[in-house]
Chain A
């Protein structure tokens, strides 16, 4: 589904990704771990289409199609979803109106009719229940005055609404207490199917107790330097990253 080949990317002439390779197939969950500043959030933003990053070499293929030239909204229309590490506050636009616009814009781009209001409401109800979101919350301005945990839960609510093919969760666990973490993880697990894929970017093992990855990758200095199964995450949790740095530098 997603194939990243020898990706080099920089921002303001500073190279952040230095030849990254990643292959994610439908139905898989991949975890990307790594120390601060390794390039994890950059990778997430680049796949989602943030323009301030410049891809200098390599390709990003979604279902075999190079998406590098596509705008962020076009990637979203093709099923890419990014759960933001720091969701943006948008005063004056309610959660509900934001989702209606997002879904109908996406449907329009896919050549579909707008979703009937009744279906939209039903879907909003279902998905907000899934994430244990209060109805009142939906008529508030997007992310404005939300706690850290509410913002993250709202991101996964949006993911549930958009039903993406490829979801990238950028440090969705940060700012969540254990109950919220369980709700969010449960939401993600319910959305998983053989046709979609999830990339979980995290510092810590604890989210991976709930969203169990098929593969774990270590991103260090702009490259994936080690890949393994879920046991690798446990090892990282226990030993930190220094042994990996030593292994590479040796």
Chain B
């Protein structure tokens, strides 16, 4: 049976595990119909022209976690930012691990989607926000249909989350193949502030496909910093669908560090709904082998005096392939918009490829929009210069790559995270350059 049919027929079984009388279930039932109609995206669709899911959809994925698997903290410590006090929402094979987590209901809510969906206390938030900005495309609808578990974060007015929040999804490989569909909801009310770090980590070579949906609502003058660490093994694929709605004078930033995986697709969408908004999208991609990373971004400017800043850097070695597709829409009303986009790439091998495509749809006449894209090799003259000072070839290359990615790293606001990212890059490049940039 094809995966699509298997999923549709599994929906009945899924209904036995959830409260079918809850209003959210109407949303699920509607979503499975949309998925049935639209199915998985194919390369015929413009937005999926350079990314094929065919190979990864051939596996006979296990759709529901069969048992609760446990992990010991010491065995997975390295995937945490352990040198920093944080809240933690941890899932193992799609199930919540209370053992590894540290949640709270003190002033702010950092907990589980499953409790938010089933407790009366959260009903108004769920009614107001759940599935309100997630569009009806095939993959998002599939996630909505099976939405049950994930992270739920609610920061009410004038609150600052007292520490960053880590969301980590482990897959243990106990199932030979596994489909994970986390569903996250993050609501940050007026003048509030939160920092979130998210990571997906497969612990074995068994194939995993994660189809994640995150909705983030950023109210007036609120600040949200979201960091995505994608450094998974070569049999783990990820489709990350993130939708962010911002109200007036809010600032939201998403950093995506794509250092590995099989096929990684990031659908990152910002919808601006007020004046004076700033949206920041930064990314560093460093991949090799046959890895594939696709960044598909959208910033929709609808009101005057807003900004968006996109800066994506990519380094591709061996047969790695990259895609950057950055769409900016500026509505007629959105005068005085400043929208910037840049995508710079280095190809380290003749067989590596990058497809970079800016898409600007501008309907206002008084705006500043710029986009730029470069594709090049490491500068030979710069390499010789460094080597002539005694810096080995490998280190010189690494230093140039660090320098290339540096301004994106500079904007990471959590020092321990910045250090960790530096270390991940150093490990990836197989060097120790002896200082933090």
Residue positions of A touching B, CB distance < 8 A: 48-52, 71-73, 75-77, 80-82, 84, 87-93, 97-98, 100-106, 109, 114, 141, 158, 162
Q: CB distance B387 to A104 under 8 Å?
A: no
Give the interface size class of chain B. 20 to 34
Residues of the B chain whose Cβ atoms lie less than 8 Å from the Cβ of A84: 385, 388
Q: Evaluate whether A76 and B403 lie within 8 angstroms (CB atoms) in the complex, with A92-B437, A105-B395 already known.
A: no
Bound CA–CA A76/B384 (angstroms): 11
Q: CB distance A105 to B392 under 8 Å?
A: yes
Residues of the B chain whose Cβ atoms lie less than 8 Å from the Cβ of A102: 386, 389-391
Interface string of B351-383 (1 = CB under 8 A from A): 000000000000000000000000000011110
A73-B389, A101-B391 known, 8 other contacts, Cβ within 8 Å: A48-B388, A75-B388, A80-B388, A81-B388, A90-B382, A90-B385, A101-B395, A109-B390
Q: Evaluate whether A77 and B385 lie within 8 angstroms (CB atoms) in the complex, with A92-B403, A93-B399 already known.
A: no
Q: CB distance A49 to B388 under 8 Å?
A: yes
Q: CB distance B385 to A88 under 8 Å?
A: yes
Interface string of B251-288 (1 = CB under 8 A from A): 00000000000000000000000000000000000000
Q: CB distance A88 to B379 under 8 Å?
A: yes
Closest 6 CB pairs of A and B: A92-B403, A76-B390, A92-B406, A106-B390, A72-B387, A102-B389
From A76, which residue of chain B is reached at the shortest CB distance? B390
Residues of the B chain whose Cβ atoms lie less than 8 Å from the Cβ of A93: 399, 402-403, 437
Instruction: Check B393 for interface membership: any CB of A closer than 8 A.
Output: yes
Partner of B400, one of A76, A90, A104: A90
Q: Evaluate whether A90 and B389 lie within 8 angstroms (CB atoms) in the complex, with A100-B435, A105-B395 already known.
A: no
Bound CA–CA A105/B392 (angstroms): 7
Q: CB distance B434 to A101 under 8 Å?
A: yes
Residue positions of B touching A, CB distance < 8 A: 379-382, 384-393, 395-396, 399-400, 402-404, 406-407, 433-435, 437
Partner of A91, one of B380, B391, B403, B433: B403
Partner of B387, one of A49, A81, A90, A158: A49
Residues of the B chain whose Cβ atoms lie less than 8 Å from the Cβ of A105: 390-392, 395
Bound CA–CA A87/B390 (angstroms): 15
Q: CB distance B389 to A98 under 8 Å?
A: yes
Residues of the A chain whose Cβ atoms lie less than 8 Å from the Cβ of B385: 84, 87-88, 90
**Shortest CB–CB separation between residue A54 and chain B, in angstroms?**
15
Bound CA–CA A89/B379 (angstroms): 10
Bound CA–CA A138/B388 (angstroms): 20
Q: CB distance B399 to A158 under 8 Å?
A: no
Q: CB distance A158 to B389 under 8 Å?
A: yes
From B387, which residue of chain A is reached at the shortest CB distance? A72
List 6 contacting pairs A-B, 8 Å CB cutoff, sorted by A. Answer: A49-B387, A72-B387, A90-B385, A102-B390, A106-B390, A141-B403
Residues of the B chain whose Cβ atoms lie less than 8 Å from the Cβ of A109: 390
Partner of A73, one of B381, B392, B406, B407: B392
Bound CA–CA A71/B385 (angstroms): 12
Q: CB distance B434 to A73 under 8 Å?
A: no
Residues of the A chain whose Cβ atoms lie less than 8 Å from the Cβ of B387: 49, 71-73, 76
Q: Evaluate whether A88 and B390 lie within 8 angstroms (CB atoms) in the complex, with A97-B437, A114-B434 already known.
A: no
Partner of A71, one of B381, B393, B402, B407: B393
Bound CA–CA A93/B402 (angstroms): 8
Bound CA–CA A105/B389 (angstroms): 9
Q: CB distance A72 to B403 under 8 Å?
A: no
**Shortest CB–CB separation between residue A156 and chain B, in angstroms?**
13
**Shortest CB–CB separation between residue B425 and chain A, in angstroms?**
13
Bound CA–CA A100/B392 (angstroms): 14
Bound CA–CA A68/B379 (angstroms): 23
Bound CA–CA A88/B393 (angstroms): 16
